Amino acid sequence: MVTVIIPALNEAARIAGVIEFAQQSHLVKQVVVVDDGSVDDTPRLARAAGADVITSSLLGKGASMLDGLRVASEDVVLYLDGDLTGLREDLVELMTQPLISGAADFTKASFSRSAGRVTVLTARPLLQIFFPELAHFNQPLGGIMAAKRGLLESLHFETDYGVDLGLLIDAHQEGARVLEVDIGHLEHDSQTLDALGNMAKQVVRTLLMRAEKFGRLAGDHVREIEEVERHAQAEVALSFKNFGQTRRLAMFDMDGTLLRSRFIKELAIRTGREEALVPWLDNHRVSDCERAKQIARAFEGVPKQVFVETARTIELTPGAGETVVALRKAGFRVGIVTDSYVIAAETVKRRVFADFAVANLVRFRAGVCSGELTPCPIFQHPDGCREHTMCKYNTLLHLMDRLQVPREEVVAVGDGVNDICMLSAAGVGIAFEPKSAAVRESANFGIEVDLRGVLGLVGL
């Protein structure tokens, strides 16, 4: 009768307890844990506790929630967080009985807790302004919610921490009967200030996008906010302030390495821009920077969502996600470096559970590509590559310096001519299905077909 879905990222300490709690209810027929690229024992412990375990198709809580919905077998779906403790015994019944009896279509847990700064400082004030009819909800950002599966399938799931608020607003706007259910006191693990800051940005963006969608805000304001946030995300590649200490680094090329094909070629096919791309693609008679700018101009007018969908649907190379997660478990910081675009690289990063991505920035206005390109600054280095103005080798120099990683602890994986300098400079250079003899000769090793071959070469 009820499917319980638990999105989980590194919840080994508590995941088994949450699963066992859910299984105690006679209403629960299925428990699904959606692993978001955990580097601890979360998946193994979840299976041992009796849950169905799947891997998220895209890094982010909302994407995991949607993936879980797709495999749900029951008509009523209850979402729980993977780090909960102190749950009251009748929580499942409290959250789902209104749905089973037909008294409500969507229930949201109300509870007292010792944190909730993002709720107090962002969600509630903005709900009061744009959606006052929902401002009475005590925990609009809470992850404990239940709904009929048919309703959930009609709603839009944000991929990040804005998902809980977005579903509440969307359900209400669709005319669903939304009910708040008091479940008492609840404890979550506390988040760092950096994490709370990121959550706040995602929540604010989600709420403002809904305000635009439902005619409560001018659209231009939202789009500018999205652009500011995306530019800020790109700057992470320059600071690496959230990485903490690491002594091992792995860098992967995107096109032809993590992805089976090349992003800009797939985008050109989808948008009918192949002819405009031909004069510039792999044209080395012009500078790297000029070639990149001309290619970006070829996509002027293409909607941003087409960029995202293309990056989400290109086939991954076999073993891509498994290899990245295994390296992260072994203490590597894993990054993507590509002369493609941030909007694509960030999407692929989330698909394979990498730590960061370095790419060029293409600008969008009113939801469509302007054709303007801002080269990523760390593709350049004053003491770097003498052959190329923009080079992945320069990125390695910046990373090794800022993260204090010695060259011998750097792994680089690539397939093309533009990866040669990076492969030559790394402690372990790995050519994956190299496109030329020069690429193979620049690397210490060569592998074919499956990226999991990287693991054996680095002793894992």
Query: pLDDT tens across 347-375, in order?
Result: 999 999 999 999 998 988 878 999 998 88
Model pLDDT, residue 458: 95
- Is it the case that residue 346 has pLDDT exceeding 70? yes
- 235-239, 312-316, 396-400: which range is least confident on average? 235-239
Model pLDDT, residue 151: 97
Model pLDDT, residue 282: 73
- Is it the case that residue 328 has pLDDT exceeding 80? yes
Model pLDDT, residue 112: 73
For residues 63-83, give the mean pLDDT: 96
For residues 285-290, give the mean pLDDT: 78
Model pLDDT, residue 238: 46
pLDDT range class, residue 148, cuts 50, 70, 90: very high
Model pLDDT, residue 440: 96
pLDDT range class, residue 408, cuts 50, 70, 90: very high
pLDDT range class, residue 94, cuts 50, 70, 90: very high
What does each C-alpha distance from 236 to 233, 288, 292, 414, 450 come to in angstroms? Answer: 5, 23, 21, 23, 30
Q: Which residue has the higher pLDDT, 84 or 93?
A: 93
Model pLDDT, residue 430: 98
- 1-5, 98-102, 120-124: which range is least confident on average? 120-124
pLDDT range class, residue 338, cuts 50, 70, 90: very high
Cα separation of 6 and 91, whole Å? 15
Model pLDDT, residue 285: 77
Tokens of 266: 């797939």
Describe the strand order of the beta sheet including 28-35 as a list of residue ranges.
52-55, 28-35, 2-8, 76-79, 145-148, 106-112, 178-185
Mean pLDDT, the chain, whole residue set = 89
- 34-48, 308-322, 380-394: which range is least confident on average? 380-394
- Is it the case that residue 134 has pLDDT exceeding 80? yes
Cα separation of 33 and 22, whole Å? 12
Model pLDDT, residue 51: 97
Helix (H) or strand (E) holding 436: none
Q: What percent of the chain has pLDDT over 90?
A: 66
For residues 122-148, give the mean pLDDT: 89
Tokens of 445: 């090793």
Model pLDDT, residue 219: 57
Model pLDDT, residue 359: 92
Q: If you average pLDDT over each of 137-146, 225-234, 275-284, 286-295, which comes out highest?
A: 137-146
pLDDT digits (tens, 9 = 90+) for 415-441: 999 999 999 999 999 999 999 999 999
For residues 224-236, give the mean pLDDT: 53
Judge contact between 171 and 100, C-beta under 8 A: no
Backbone dihedral region for residue 72 (phi beyond 0: left; psi -120 to 50: alpha; all else: beta): beta
pLDDT range class, residue 187, cuts 50, 70, 90: low
- Is it the case that residue 115 has pLDDT exceeding 50? no
Domains located in the chain, CATH noted:
2-208 (3.90.550.10), 239-457 (3.40.50.1000)
pLDDT digits (tens, 9 = 90+) for 197-229: 678 888 888 988 898 889 887 655 555 555 555
- Is it the case that residue 167 has pLDDT exceeding 80? yes
Neighbours of 193 (CB within 10 A): 8
- Is it the case that residue 110 has pLDDT exceeding 60? yes
Cα separation of 99 and 179, whole Å? 10
What does each C-alpha distance from 249 to 153, 197, 356, 457 come to in angstroms? Answer: 40, 26, 11, 14
E strands within 308-453?
A: 333-341, 356-365, 368-374, 410-414, 428-432, 445-447
- Is it the case that residue 196 has pLDDT exceeding 70? no
